[in-house]
Each structure stands twice: as C-alpha cells, then as structure tokens.
Amino acid sequence: MSESLRLTDADVVQFLQDNPDFFIAKDNLLASLRIPHDSGQATSLIERQLAVYRERNVELRQRLSDLLENARRNDKLFAKTKRLVLNLISANNWIDIEAALDDSLRQDFKVDHWSLLYFSEQHLEYPLRSISNKNKQRDIHRLFKGHRAFCGQLTDEAMDLLLDEHHSSAESIAAAQIRHGQQIGVICVASDDPKFYRSSMDTLFLDYIADVLGLILPNLPQN
C-alpha cells in the first residue's frame, strides 16, 4: 500500500498564498480558527490580520513622523546656515568675519569652542589665528591625512596646534581645510564632551562653510 499523502505547513502556506480569497463565505471555518499571540491569548484569523495591519500602520506612522522631524531639522539647519553665509558674504574686514562666525557658531549651533587658522603673516586676534610658520602649516596639513575634514579626538599637542591654550577644556574636535587653490587655513569647532565629535560624523556643513571662507578670506583687506 502506498503511504498516504500528508500536507506540510509549507503546503498550506503556499495554498493560501495562491488562493487569497479562500476564506470568503467560510464564516464557520473562520470562527473555528485560532492563532495564538506571543502573550498566549488566542484570536481569530481576521482579528490577527487586523492586528498586523495596525502594527504596520503604527510603523508607517513612525516612519512618516521621523521623515517630518528630519525635514523640520533640515529646515532649521538651512536657515541658520543661510544667515551665517549672508553675514560672511557681507563682511568687509576680519572683525566682521569674527563677529559672524562667533554669533552663528556659539548662538545658533551652540558650539563650545571655535577657531579659524589662516596661513598668513598678518596679525589676527583670537579666536582668529595667523599661522606664518611653514613647519606649523605642514604639521596642521598632516593632521588631515589627505582628507578634506575630520572629526574626533586628537592628542593634546594636536589640539593645542589647532585651538591653542584658550580651548584647554576641549575634548573632541571637527576641522575642515579652507582652500583657495591650495590650503590657506582651517576652521575648527570643538566640544568639552569627548564623544560629541566622532569620526563617523558627517562634515558636510563644516565643508560648506570652509568653501565659503575660501572664497571670501583672500579678498579681505590686509591688516
């Protein structure tokens, strides 16, 4: 005698997938079906299906909420960045540059410390710093290791090179090269929190500000 055929779970699943209307007009069958929840409670197939739809609806609502929150955050970032760029463009001298950066970075972006290094022999006042020594310029350039910008923690010596003694409490830093054909300076922001600026962070905003400074700084009057 041949062995009787037995349906597997996979066979039932495949049948229901191929026949999604199978339970239509089969109320008695539906009423007898029970599918347990993780909690141990039982529910009908329709109730379970509704529960799945509700779970998916909650998930979709959360995704939509996250997208809207990101949009609002990006709008705020754009407004702050726009204000900073317009103030930099309208700057007539180094005092205006310092005022625009200090107001934006400290007030709008809540930065603990910032510094702008400019490779020049002209005299600049803190937090602007002129770097005329070629060896120091090369040391600063090496910190970037071929990258346009970086974030993270540095040695005390490297932090002092970028921030000097005015920022001794800084524990993490983000820095971007200011270029005008070649590197002409560096814009730095730093935090007292050692984990605030991490190597995985995006530096798009800082890169953008560095690009703007690269166009503006060479055209400022020399002190």
Q: Do the domain assignments include residue 112?
A: yes
Q: Report how many domains make up the chain.
A: 2
Residues 103 and 82 in one domain: no
The verdict on 120 and 101 lying in the same domain is yes
Segment 202-211, tens digit of pLDDT: 888 899 999 9
Tell me if 185 sits within 8 A of 118, measured CB to CB.
yes
Question: CA-to-CA distance for 177 and 181, rounded, in angstroms?
Answer: 11
21-68 pLDDT tens trace: 777 766 566 656 665 555 445 556 667 677 777 888 888 888 888 888
Same domain, 77 and 129: no
pTM, two decimal places: 0.69
- Exposed (0-12), middle (13-18) or buried (19+): which is 120, by Cβ within 10 Å? middle
- Pair (120, 163) in one structural domain: yes
Judge whether 1 lies within some domain: no
Instruction: Identify the CA nearest to 120 among candidates 211, 209, 184.
Output: 184
* 205 shares a domain with 98: yes
* Residue that is last in its domain, among 41, 61, 90: 90
Q: What CATH number is associated with residue 142?
A: 3.30.450.40
Instruction: Tell me if 179 sits within 8 A of 117, measured CB to CB.
Output: no
CB atoms closer than 10 angstroms to residue 175: 28
- Residue 144 belongs to domain spanning: 93-219
In terms of domains, do 73 and 107 share one?
no
Which structure tokens are listed for 78?
């754009």
Q: Are 83 and 47 found together in one domain?
A: yes
| CA separation for the pair 99, 72 (Å, rounded) | 27
Least confidently predicted of 15-19, 47-51, 88-92: 47-51
